[in-house]
Amino acid sequence: MRSLKQMFQYLVLALLLPALFLGYSLYKLGVVNEQLAQVNLDRYTSYLLADELRQSSDDLTRLARTYVVSGNPEWEKQYFEILDIRNGKKPRPKQYEKIYWDFRAVGQDPNRGSDAAVPLQDLMKQAGFTEAEFAKLKEAQGNSDDLVNTETVAMNLVKGQLADGKGGFTLKGEPDLAKAREMMHDKNYHAFKAKIMKPVDQFLSLVDERTAGAVAHAVEQKNLWYRLLVGSIVFLLVVAITFLAAIVRVLMGRFGADPLAVRHAVEAVRAGDLSADIPVRLGDTSSVMAALSGMREQLSKVVSDVRQGSHAVALASKEIAQGNMDLSNRTEDQASALEKTASHMNELGAQVKQNASSSYQANELAQNASKVATQGGEVVAQVVETMKGINDASRKISDIIGVIDGIAFQTNILALNAAVEAARAGEQGRGFAVVASEVRALAGRSAEAAKQIKLLISTSVERVEQGTHLVDSAGSTMTEVVTAIQRVTTIMSEISTATSEQAERVAQVGQAVTLMDQSTQQNSALVEQMAAAATSLNTQASDLVQVVEGFKLSSRS
C-alpha cells in the first residue's frame, strides 16, 4: 500500500502541469489585456492628434474672422500663438486637448503649465501612424497652412498692409475691412475648410479600420485564453477531487474504522479505562485501531507491573526514611559536641591572641624605650660636644681678654708719655695733656674691666669643665641604659614571636575543629535531606500507587 507521502507526491505531480498551464494562461491573458489597452490608447491618441489639427484650424478661423470684424490686435496675437504652438515654436500647454482658447478669449488663463515645444507633425510621427495615415494628416495640415495664408492676407488688409510679392506685407494702403470680411466668409474660404477636413475624415477612417482590427484580434485572443484558463481550473478541480477521494479511502484503511470510533477508543485510553476491548477487523495488523488495541494490552501489563512495584517501593522507602531519621539524630548529637569543642577552641584562641597582642605591645613599648634611650644618649653626646665647644670658646675669650689687658696697659704707658711731653710743651701742650689724662683714665678703666671679665671667664671655664665631666658621666650612664633596654627588647621580641606562633597553632587547631564541625553539620544536613528524600519517595510511591489504582484493568490482568 502506498504511503500518504507518495500519494501527495503523485497529487502534486498530477497538478503541476495543469497549474503551470494555468499560470501561463494567466500570463497570456495579462499580455492580451495590455495589448488591448495599448491599442485603445493608440486609438485614443490618434483621435486626439487629429482632433487637435481640426480644432486648431477651427480656432484659427474663429480668431481670424473675429479680428477682421473687430480689428482688435489681441485676436491676431492669439491667432499666431496657435500657429507657433502647432509648428513647435512655442511650448505646448499641458492638457492641450481640453478647452483652452475659449478661456483665453475671455481673459481666463487655464494656467496648467507647459510642456516642451514640439511640432504637431513630430507628435504624429511618434504616434506610430502608418504611411497612409500620416500622409492624410500631412495633407490636412498643408491645406490648413494654405488657408493660413488667406487668413493672413485678410488680417493685413484690416491694417492696410498689402502683399509685396516676396512673402511679406510691406506695402502700405488703405484698410479694406469689407474685402477682408468677404475673404473670410465667401465660398472659397468654406471650400478651403472642406479641403482641410476631408483628409482628416479619411485619416479617422483609416485609423478606425486599423485599430478596430487590432481591437478585434486582441478581444479574440483574450476570449481564447480566458476559455483555456477556465478549462485549466476545471481540470485542476477534477484531478484534486479524484485524488482527495483516494486519500480518504486510504485514510479510512489506515484508521481501521470510522474516525469517530477511533476517537472514542483514544478517549477511553486517555481516561485510563483499559478494560474495554478495541474492535479490530479480521486480519488488520497495520491500522490505527490495531495499534491502539496493542497499546491497550501493553499498557495493561505495564500498569499491573507498576502497581506491584510501587507497593514494594513504598515499603522500602518507608524503612529507608526511618533509618535516616535515626542516623540524623546521632549525627546531630555529634555535631553538637563538635560545636562545643569548637567554641572552647575559639575562646582559647582568643586568649592566646590577646596574650600575643599584649606581648606585641610590650615589645613595641620596649622598642620605643630603646629608641628614646638611644636618642637620649645621642642628645647627651651632643651636650658633651657643646660643652667642649663652650670650654674652648671660654679659653679663647680669656686669651682675648689678656690681649685687651695688654692693650690697656700699653695705652696707659702711651698716655703717661703723652702727659710728660705735654708738660714739657708748657702752655701749648695743655689741651693735649687733658686728652692724654682722659685716655689714661679710660685705659685704666679698661684694664680694670678686663680683669673683672677675666675673673668671670675663669670662673665660667671652671664650671664648664665641671659640667663637661658631669655630662660625660651622664653619657656613660645613658649608654648602659640603652644597652639594658636593647636586651629587654630582644627578650620581649622573642616572647612575642613565640606567643604569635602559639596563637597560629591554636587558630589552626580551632579551624580544624571548625571544619570538622561544618563537615558534621553538612553530614547532618545531608542525612536530613536523605530522610526528606526518603519521605518524599514514600509519598510519591503512595501517590504512584493511587495513580495506578486509577487505571481500570480487565479481570485477566
Tell me the C-alpha distance between 334 and 517, whole Å.
Answer: 9
User: Residue 445 class from Cβ within 10 Å (0-12 exposed, 13-18 middle, 19+ buried)?
Assistant: exposed
Encode burial over 156-172: b for 16+ CB neighbours within 10 A, e otherwise. Answer: bbbbebbeeeeeebeee
Q: Write down the pTM of the prediction.
A: 0.36
Confidence label for 513 from pLDDT (cuts 50, 70 and 90): low
Q: How many residues comprise the chain?
A: 557
Identity at 127, one-letter amino acid code: A
**pLDDT above 90 coverage of the chain, percent:** 1
pLDDT at 357: 82
- The reply to whether CATH 1.10.287.950 applies to domain 294-549 is yes
pLDDT digits (tens, 9 = 90+) for 6-52: 777 777 887 888 788 888 888 888 888 887 787 777 767 777 877 88
pLDDT digits (tens, 9 = 90+) for 260-303: 777 877 787 777 776 767 777 777 777 777 787 778 778 777 77
454 with 321: CB under 8 angstroms?
A: no
pLDDT at 352: 62
Q: Give the start-to-end residue ranges of the domains of the chain.
A: 4-248, 294-549
> What is the rounded (10 degree) CA torsion for 188, 192, 193, 194?
100
State the average pLDDT for the chain. Answer: 79
pLDDT digits (tens, 9 = 90+) for 83-112: 898 888 889 888 788 888 888 888 787 777
Higher pLDDT: 462 or 327? It is 462
Query: In this structure, which long-range contacts are made by residues 28-33, counting pairs with CB atoms below 8 Å and at least 24 apart in sequence?
Result: 28/221, 28/225, 29/222, 29/225, 29/226, 29/229, 32/218, 32/221, 32/222, 32/225, 33/222
Residue 133 has pLDDT above 80, yes or no: yes
pLDDT digits (tens, 9 = 90+) for 365-395: 768 867 876 787 787 578 658 767 866 877 7
pLDDT at 464: 65
Task: Tell me the CA distances in angstroms from 73 to 47, 77, 80, one per residue in order.
Answer: 32, 6, 11
Cell numbers found for residue 489: 627588647
Residue listed under C-alpha cell 482590427: 213
**Torsion-angle region of 299 (φ positive above 0: left; ψ -120 to 50: alpha; else: beta):** alpha
Tell me the C-alpha distance between 448 and 442, whole Å.
Answer: 10
Confidence label for 74 from pLDDT (cuts 50, 70 and 90): very high
Cell numbers found for residue 217: 484580434
Cell numbers found for residue 190: 468654406
Confidence label for 556 from pLDDT (cuts 50, 70 and 90): low
Residue 425 has pLDDT above 60, yes or no: yes
pLDDT digits (tens, 9 = 90+) for 181-228: 998 899 988 998 899 889 988 988 888 888 777 777 777 887 888 788
Residues 6+ apart with CB under 8 A from 346: 510, 514
Query: In this structure, which long-range contacts are made by residues 523-530, counting pairs with CB atoms below 8 Å and at least 24 apart in sequence?
Result: 523/331, 523/335, 524/328, 524/331, 524/332, 524/335, 527/324, 527/327, 527/328, 527/331, 528/324, 528/328, 530/320, 530/324
**pLDDT above 70 coverage of the chain, percent:** 87
Residue 494 has pLDDT above 70, yes or no: yes
Tell me the sheet residues that pair with 273.
552
Tell me the C-alpha distance between 265 and 380, whole Å.
Answer: 117
Determine the average pLDDT of the residues in 505-515. Answer: 74
Tell me the C-alpha distance between 44 and 37, whole Å.
Answer: 10
Residue 552 has pLDDT above 70, yes or no: no
